Amino acid sequence: MHGIEGHDTLDGDDAITSIAARLPRYGVTAFCPTTIACAPAELTAVLDQIGRARTNAVRGARVLPAHLESNFINPEYHGAQPRACLRLPTADRVDGAFSGREILEAITARQADVGIITIAPELPGVFDLIASFTRAGHRVSLGHSGADFEQAIEAIEAGVRHATHLFNRMTPLTHRKPGVAGAVLSHDDVMAELICDGYHVHPAMCRVAIDAKGVDGIIAITDGTAGFRFARRYRPRGSAASRFASPTRRRCSTTERWRAAP
């Protein structure tokens, strides 16, 4: 859950508690606040919020550790993720902004408040993160990835146990190149998220996935954003800006955001 009703996890202030307060009316009793790739300062701020919300009971849905759709995903499969925020896990700064190493430091500093981390294991240095993230207690997820079937299987054997929005923004399932989707469907140890809205994934493919994984191997998700319950003319802020067709912009060198003129 990235957000709801105009509130995004990266909005700062009381964004997490605001989201939590709005979820019970939709039948949600607990959620993993989900972030898109962002700068270290933003990541630290949202993890601080999550830590406070988990320590002090909040009104609404229970706040679980975060799901980071992290900076370590494939730019060719970035989807709604801001491409300018993507990094390799090195100390190299991009455009004078921040490095992947700084993202790792932010995650380590708030380890207990990070649950799931999405990665693309085919990228240089990212495969090695699987073991370190797993040792730290994080659930490592395949997603936004251009890995082939063999690379995905190798990642699963190294400790990946989750797949972020199956079929969306990953190498597809074909009869000769099963891709990431095929690896996830063929491996019982991997839990697969599935956006069951009839748009992101065709209902026939939802049935294929459920038949392959069983109901216990599928997590039905919304991937909901701050625009949920708003008309398409809504002009979002924060991470929601990258998920709507609007002139809103976002950059990673600072935490600054813009709202498009009405």
Which positions are annotated as active-site residues? Answer: 223
Sign for the pseudo-dihedral over CA of 119, 124, 126, 127: positive
Q: State the residue for tokens 């979820």.
A: 23
7 has which bridge partners? 4
SS (H, E, C) 26-65: HCCCEECCEECCCCHHHHHHHHHHHHHHHHCCCCCCEECC
Q: Are 124 and 103 in contact (CB under 8 A)?
A: no
From the number of C-beta atoms within 10 Å of its C-beta (0-12, 13-18, 19+), residue 54 rates as middle
Residue 126 one-letter amino acid: V
